[in-house]
Structure 1
Amino acid sequence: MNPSPLLESFRGRRLPMEARPVGYCELIRRFDLRVPLHHEMAATSPKHSRRRENGWSIHPVSARPKEDTVAHLVFALKHEGLVLLTLKEVFHAMDRRDLEQALIAKPTSAYLRRLCFLYEWLLDEELAVPDTKRGSYALLLDPEKQHATRDTSYERRFRILFNLPGTPQFCPLVRRTQAIDDFIAKDFRGRARDIVDSAPPDVIARAAAFLLLSDSKASFAIEGETPSGDRIERWARVIAKAGTLDLSIKEFERLQRELIGDERFVRVGLRDEGGFVGRHDPLQQPRPEHVSANPEDLVSLLNGLVAFNALSRMLGFHPVMTAACIAFGFVYIHPFEDGNGRLHRFLLHHVMAERDYTPEGIVFPVSSAIYHDIARYKATLETVSKPLLEWIEWSATPRGNVQVQNDTADYYRYFDATAHVEYLFRCIETVVSRDLPDELLFLQHRDTFHAEATRVVDMPERMFDMLLTFLHQNQGRLSKRARETEFVALTADEVTRMEAIYRDLFQRPTDDQSDLFRPLRV
């Protein structure tokens, strides 16, 4: 087979030097595969260079494999890890006999056994090769390159230790990054429990109620909505069930009904037509920023998502990674006409609660963290949806919707969830490092304010809370308007003493926060 050409760029991504594509990149070029470029593609340099920049990993020419398809597949597994979407497309395009002959020639090769297992697993087709009888069991996923499950299952045909978190119907993967390793080392689960254990139970109960309300309001704010109290209450009821439900398509549909409430103007249940996220131009033609999964693929994709949740739990995949894969996978699939975003955020809560990652009875206000970092949230969503727009063929319907023309199911099954995991960890860090301890400290200081202010003057509790709010709004001083209206009965001395109590509690510098009234509360 002819050697790969020297390239200066590939599909719009410029190489740092002239080099020949290798591994996945060469296979994408060779078979003209309809897949997005990976976060990093590989090439070999004739100048014996080794460097990584601009989305390229440049290897010396000595690392270049033979030019046959199987050799490039082995290179990909060895140097680049698993990219299931591209692997499946290569398996469809290649001559399967090449893989069969390679394994028969080297029956104990760990890389060839992995490839043969993946071929049968992804395509549900059996290769014409005998079962492997010799050789050590090999991990399917290299845990040095990508995050694997803690436990493994034995796959005897090719002597493989299965450590993927999902099934062929749904299996996003997460690359190892320094950021994720650092987040894991911070042990947010343990830190959250220590914070909760250090506070009185009644304070924890009040903090839990506020954090739930905060998350409820933020979930609607993310979508630019100002909901009624009834809608917020419905959302809070749904979130309160996080960790207690068995996921299924029927359960997704039931949750959607509970969230929607009024079904007169919204179709409830799985979509029976296309869907997209974006806008319409002046002629009412769709301008998608994200195209949802085909309606005929929804059952398979959602069943895959449910199976991912069960398998990842059984084999011990990290709770935050599981939550990110499932929740973002759900929002990319976009199975409903309405309610997808809120169910996406419910799934974040559900998976973490189901795996005891969050303290019992406490809802991490992830939606609040998302709302205050909405630009990064949208950028995270676009890491998958934006590149896919190039490969999804669609036409506009008379009603201004989209109808997808090609097979797109695998785009939603096998995405790279690394950015999503990093983003979710950042949200959790905000909650554990700021929101949760600050809310507990605020409540403790609020109780102290009530107790000390009562020694100055006896008022109903609601008046103390109003006074506390007014003092905050005016930087620790009671405004002239408040003195002359709601608190006209207070003497000047009483007001001065109240202001001093407030300043001592709420404007005293702390280790992390000098003002305990933060945007999350007000």
Structure 2
Amino acid sequence: MILGTTQIRPAGYAFLIEQYGLSALPNWHTSSVSPTGTLRSTVQDGREESVYPQSYWPGDGTGGHLEFALKYDGVNLGILSALFDVVPPEEIAAWVNSKPTGKYARKIWFLYEFLTGRELPLPDLTKGNYTPLLEPDRYYTAAPGRRMQRQRVIDNLLGGKDFCPIIRRTEKLDAMEGIDLRKRCEEVAASYPPELLRRALTYLYNKETKSSFEIEHIKPSPSRTEKFIGLLEMAEHKDFCEKPLLIDVQNRIVDPRFQDSDYRANQNYVGQAVSYQKQVVHYVCPRPSDLPELMEGLLTAHHVMKKGALPAIIHAAAISYGFVFMHPFEDGNGRIHRFLIHNILCLRGEIPKGLMFPVSAAMLKNPELYDHSLEAFSNPLMRLVEYNLDDLGQMTVTDETGPLYRYIDMTAQAEALYDFVKITIEHELVEELDFLANYDKTKQAMQQIVDMPDRLIDLFIQLCLQNNGRLSARRKESHFGFLTDDELAGMENAVREGYARN
């Protein structure tokens, strides 16, 4: 229903969603038109609402609001896909034909055929300049893109029909991109002796493994720990974004009883029990029947991004978070999601040889930031998915949900991963290297007092650091009764001085 011109009226995507009753994830930008006043905008929780003056009103037709949406609301493939499923193709074709050389008409023409797989009854264009589908100053794009002669549009999307994320250029991402994180990492590494860096690598692999499991409140067995470390060591040598390799990764890191030979065949979800037979569902995963296409689309998008000169962290965010949102396996999805961050950053040369980023440690220490990166997608999704949950906790999704997972705005996830990598380099990496440097200094000072075996030196340092730089009477009696009071005091002082900064 069109409201009277004396009221503020929705425009662009907001108009189309209301007009056609579309079920789609909300757009980051919402527009309306007011009969009075000037352009005004408000921003809250990463979403922007703009009210435009009357001169911006695009009319009452679908085509006008489509053009308005691309101009002012941006490209939202999810809303467009839902719209094209209900609008007759003849209506879209007639509007495009009314302005065949207009760049927004050509973009809508291309997007209709891209998203639906159906060709509009329009002849190929034979002249005119090519226009990029996504403006490179507003979006991260796959450069140089494919030249689509039919509409004379350059397809620079980050994926294909089955999975295609959108990542907008925000002030935060532009600022982050201005920081050369690899160079910063090399500068950190250059301030430590090469021998210490070689020793640190083992500690960093262990730290990343422990943190990745701990995020999920899992205490792995020594064998599972070693298998995960082995995967991390392989991250720089092989591209794991292939179905057989992902299945192999899952088999390596989970309990053998929960190994998968294919993508899951059951409907799964993320939730928690709050009482007997009462579950709070935080996230509903894609239906098993949708997974083959979604995962094939994810892997295709990975190869598009590899070839498309996309910044490594943007690439890693889109694929790793895309993977965890798909949740293709019964178990191990979160750990594989974090492993893929390492894999892609290594393949893209973001991590210098001989180092690794304990990104999971940064996530573990900043749970609110990590949760927000996941909830930026899961919260709006949960308002759209209809499901039933029986007494045994078995879920059935009752409506068509595949498109909701195909076309995700992953700007929030890209911003979060930049934060985590920056924290990792400037805090986690430095902390681990400092610890080892302090250990060497402390060990040397202790050995000048008593030349103890390395095992006892390690234990002494560990117990002192756990007790504010002093050895408790109980620990002294049980482990270090052979030390005199003067030796004990001297060694405690060596630990305090060695770790003064920590």
TM-score clears 0.5: yes
Structure 1 counterpart of 2:322: 329
Structure 2 counterpart of 1:242: 235
Kindly report which structure 2 residues correspond to 1:412-431, keeping only aligned pairs within 5 A, or say none: 412-431=405-424
Structure 2 counterpart of 1:164: 157
TM-superposed CA distance for 1:5, in Å, is 5.4
Tell me the alpha carbon deviations over residues 52-72 of structure 1, each in whole angstroms, 9 at most, x when there is no partner: 225411112211212211111
Q: Does 1:405 align with 2:398?
A: yes
Q: Is the 8 A contact 1:249 1:299 kept in 2?
A: no
Structure 1 counterpart of 2:302: 309
- Single out whichever of 286-295 and 404-413 deviates more from structure 2: 286-295
Q: Secondary structure at the match of 2:33?
A: strand
Q: Does 1:386 align with 2:379?
A: yes
Q: How far, CA to CA, are the matches of 2:315 and 2:407 in structure 1? A: 14
Task: Kindly provide the amino acid, as one letter, of the partner of residue 320 in structure 1.
Answer: I
Q: Does 1:447 align with 2:435?
A: no
Tell me the alpha carbon deviations over residues 255-301 of structure 1, each in whole angstroms, 9 at most, x when there is no partner: 111112422x6655322221111135656365422111111111111
Q: How far, CA to CA, are the matches of 1:418 and 1:396 in structure 2? A: 32
Alignment equivalent of 1:465, drawn from 458, 479, 490? 458
Q: Does 1:185 align with 2:178?
A: yes
Q: How far, CA to CA, are the matches of 1:481 and 1:398 in structure 2? A: 51
Q: Is the 8 A contact 1:211 1:364 kept in 2?
A: yes
Q: How far, CA to CA, are the matches of 1:134 and 1:197 in structure 2? A: 55
Q: Is the 8 A contact 1:260 1:339 kept in 2?
A: yes
Q: How far, CA to CA, are the matches of 1:211 and 1:68 in structure 2? A: 58
Q: Secondary structure at the match of 1:112?
A: helix
Alpha-carbon spacing, 1:451–1:179, altered in 2? closer, same or farther (3 Å): same
Q: Is the 8 A contact 2:291 2:326 kept in 1?
A: yes
Alignment equivalent of 1:139, drawn from 132, 144, 152? 132
Q: Is the 8 A contact 1:277 1:290 kept in 2?
A: yes
Alpha-carbon spacing, 1:491–1:279, altered in 2? closer, same or farther (3 Å): closer
Q: How far, CA to CA, are the matches of 1:379 and 1:246 in structure 2? A: 27
Task: Kindly provide the amino acid, as one letter, of the partner of residue 27 in structure 1.
Answer: L
Alignment equivalent of 2:34, drawn from 20, 25, 45? 45
Structure 2 counterpart of 1:59: 52
Q: Secondary structure at the match of 1:57?
A: strand
Kindly report which structure 2 residues correspond to 1:163-312, keeping only aligned pairs within 5 A, or say none: 163-243=156-236, 244-263=238-257, 268-280=261-273, 282=275, 284=277, 287-312=280-305
Task: Kindly provide the amino acid, as one letter, of the partner of residue 440 in structure 1.
Answer: L
Q: Does 1:489 align with 2:482?
A: yes
TM-superposed CA distance for 1:112, in Å, is 1.0
Structure 2 counterpart of 1:25: 14
Q: How far, CA to CA, are the matches of 1:480 and 1:92 in structure 2? A: 74
TM-superposed CA distance for 1:48, in Å, is 2.4
Alpha-carbon spacing, 1:485–1:505, altered in 2? closer, same or farther (3 Å): same
Structure 2 residues without counterparts, runs of 5 or longer: none
Q: How far, CA to CA, are the matches of 2:266 and 2:462 in structure 1? A: 49
Q: Secondary structure at the match of 1:456?
A: coil
- Single out whichever of 396-405 and 103-112 deviates more from structure 2: 396-405
TM-score normalised by L of structure 1? 0.89
TM-superposed CA distance for 1:116, in Å, is 0.9
Task: Kindly provide the amino acid, as one letter, of the partner of residue 275 in structure 1.
Answer: N
Q: Is the 8 A contact 1:149 1:318 kept in 2?
A: no
Structure 1 residues without counterparts, runs of 5 or longer: 8-17, 508-513, 516-522
Task: Kindly provide the amino acid, as one letter, of the partner of residue 172 in structure 1.
Answer: P
Corresponding pairs, count: 497
Q: Is the 8 A contact 1:131 1:157 kept in 2?
A: yes
TM-superposed CA distance for 1:139, in Å, is 1.2
TM-superposed CA distance for 1:332, in Å, is 1.5
Alpha-carbon spacing, 1:279–1:444, altered in 2? closer, same or farther (3 Å): closer
TM-superposed CA distance for 1:123, in Å, is 1.1
TM-score normalised by L of structure 2? 0.93
Q: Secondary structure at the match of 2:26?
A: coil
TM-superposed CA distance for 1:399, in Å, is 4.2
Q: How far, CA to CA, are the matches of 1:140 and 1:218 in structure 2? A: 40
Q: Is the 8 A contact 1:273 1:403 kept in 2?
A: no
- Single out whichever of 179-188 and 165-174 deviates more from structure 2: 179-188
Structure 2 counterpart of 1:475: 468
TM-superposed CA distance for 1:355, in Å, is 1.0
